[in-house]
Homo-oligomer: A and B are copies of this chain.
Amino acid sequence: MVDIATRVHNHNWKIDPIVRSLIDTDFYKLLMCQSIFRNKPDTTVVFSLINRSKSVRLGDLIDEGELREQLDHVRSLSLSRGESTWLRGNTFYGKRQMFRPDFMEWFEGLRLPPYHLEKRDGQYELTFEGKWPEVMLWEIPALAVLMELRSRAVLRGMGKFELQVLYARAMARLWEKIERLRGIEGLKIADFGTRRRHSFLWQDWCVQAMQEGLGSAFTGTSNCRIAMKRDIEAIGTNAHELPMVYSALTTNDADLAQAPYQVLADWHEEHDGNLRIMLPDTYGTEGFLKNAPDWLSTWTGIRIDSGDPARGAETAIRWWQEKGEDPLKKLVIFSDGLDVAKIEELHRQFAGRVKVSFGWGTMLTNDFRGLAGERLAPFSLVCKAVSANGRPTVKLSDNPNKAMGPAEEVARYKRVFGVADQVAQDLLV
């Protein structure tokens, strides 16, 4: 039986806007947003979309009108009543009222600020400028829009059954991964794949497949909308933008050297337990740990997001041991460039030495490699804070291929944070 109302509704493209909710975003964006709203509400920032995969010519693939239509749609979104109720009433990381009433009131009134879009050399230059708490919420929707418009552009030419088989193959591939993951005893893994997902519907499918296939080994999703819809845990803590902006706001080297710890001092005040996860690689993990204040060694764990992950984890373990902490009580979250083989390897190496957890991103929600030639293969798109109150931001990370910022500032940061030569790692995504 045809549901006429649904069909008529479907005639409109709005049946599947790419971003369908303000909380179709990563949970840690909301945690950070609240922190910024509290600590640095008046900071003016510029966020910019950067396609590290120059060979993927988004400007040629994606129609500018369609892109504007999707971005305008994102600007039309506001928090629904149900979403607000969920954020206010749900338990996150075992805690009620994670989001404070003043933040929620502000968020309920929020619309995303304007965007600036230009096409240059086959790429889009997409930037967002304004108050930090508002602009930062563009990151995930902007990435999701670009990623999915690219998918749609490639899918457009396919036949109905060709399409169905494409998804059939992607499903079979993911299920094989899940079957391998099932073999890892004590596995804990979450979906971190919102930002570079193939599409919303596909991410939603992947999350459900993980739920059914892994049971309690699947600990949740970073995507708030999907967490709410599927009644599972929303997962995430904090990201590089905090130390990047805090650092850019400093005016001398001494303050700069302390900025990453100031971020965590603010976080320390706000959060406890499993939310006390440090992300040490913004300006080099080794220097960060060497100069870290003692109270940081009491934190619950660490997230390893660049460089050789095994080396990063070993560094953290040594550091905890030096500080008299028991690594067995510490959590190491791996979240960079994971796929099943790497997950197996890291789990083998660290299970039983620390608590291990995985945030699986692109290869969970966008592994279409080889399924339409390489036309649907994931690519490396990021959306980053590039300046704060007019001063440029810098990121070094543990992989020089992920470094960002003006050359002279990169050099200064390297000096201040004592970063020596680093090993370059290929960027798959």
Contacts and interface: CB of A to CB of B under 8 A. Distances in A.
Interface of A: 1-3, 5-6, 9, 159-162, 164-165, 167-169, 171-172, 175, 208-209, 212-213
A212 B6 contact: no
Contact of A171 (B2, B6, B9, B168): B168
Nearest to A175: B165
A417 B381 CA distance: 75
This protein's copies in its complex: 2
Nearest to A176: B165
B9 A5 contact: no
Contacts of A168: 167-169, 171-172, 175
A208 B162 CA distance: 11
B175 A172 contact: no
Given A167-B168, A212-B161, A212-B162, A1 B3 contact: yes
Contacts of A164: 171, 209
A165 B209 contact: yes
A212 B171 contact: no
Between A165, A175, A208, the greatest number of chain B beta carbons within 10 A of the residue's beta carbon is seen for A165
19 contacts: A1-B3, A1-B5, A1-B6, A1-B9, A2-B3, A3-B3, A3-B6, A160-B208, A161-B209, A161-B212, A161-B213, A162-B175, A162-B213, A165-B172, A168-B169, A168-B172, A168-B175, A169-B172, A169-B175
A427 B396 CA distance: 66
Contact of A159 (B6, B160, B212): B212
A214 to B, nearest CB: 11
A1 B5 CA distance: 8
A165 B161 contact: no
B212 A160 contact: yes
Nearest to A169: B172
A141 to B, nearest CB: 25
Contacts of A165: 171-172, 175, 209
Nearest to A159: B212
A171 B5 CA distance: 30
A160 B171 CA distance: 13
A160 B1 CA distance: 23
Between A161, A167, A169, the greatest number of chain B beta carbons within 10 A of the residue's beta carbon is seen for A161
A17 B391 CA distance: 69
Contacts of A5: 1
Given A168-B172, A171-B168, A172-B172, A208 B161 contact: yes
Given A160-B208, A161-B175, A169-B172, 20 more contacts: A1-B3, A1-B5, A1-B6, A1-B9, A3-B3, A3-B6, A160-B212, A161-B208, A161-B212, A162-B175, A162-B212, A162-B213, A164-B209, A165-B171, A165-B172, A165-B175, A167-B168, A168-B171, A168-B172, A168-B175
Between A1, A162, A172, A209, the greatest number of chain B beta carbons within 10 A of the residue's beta carbon is seen for A172
Contacts of A213: 161-162
Between A167, A171, A208, the greatest number of chain B beta carbons within 10 A of the residue's beta carbon is seen for A171
Nearest to A2: B3
A66 B241 CA distance: 61
A159 B160 CA distance: 26
Contacts of A167: 168
A358 to B, nearest CB: 20
A170 B411 CA distance: 55
A22 B6 CA distance: 32
A2 B5 CA distance: 10
A152 to B, nearest CB: 20
A212 B161 CA distance: 7
Contacts of A6: 1, 3
A324 B168 CA distance: 52
Contacts of A162: 175, 212-213
